[in-house]
Structure 1
């Protein structure tokens, strides 16, 4: 399992969510991150999702 990092922010820079997500590979992790963002109604907020190697898998500003 790999540990990925999901972070979302308010417009003023306040951190809304800072979650670690465990997954076997990038695609599975990306699906989990998108699901979590949708559940918390954060898809329209600034967010980023990175892999353990620092690769940017999701980004919205």
Structure 2
């Protein structure tokens, strides 16, 4: 399992979410990241999900 990082921001740059989570691979992490954002009503906020190697899996500004 790899550790991925999910972060979401307010329009003023304040972090509203900063979580790490485990997933088998990048596709699974992307799905899980979207699910977590949806559960917290953060899909429309600026957000990003990155892999352990720094690859950007999700991004919305």
TM-score of the superposed pair, with normalisation by structure 1: 0.98
Q: Which runs of 5+ in 1 are unaligned?
A: none
TM-score of the superposed pair, with normalisation by structure 2: 0.98
Name the count of aligned residue pairs: 61
Distance in 2 (CA, whole Å) between partners of 1:25 and 1:58 is 14
Give the C-alpha shift of residue 21 in structure 1.
1.1
Partner of 1:8: 8
SS in 2 for 1:3: strand
Give the C-alpha shift of residue 7 in structure 1.
0.2
Partner of 2:44: 44
Superposition misfits of 4+ residues, deviation over 6 angstroms: none
Q: Which runs of 5+ in 2 are unaligned?
A: none
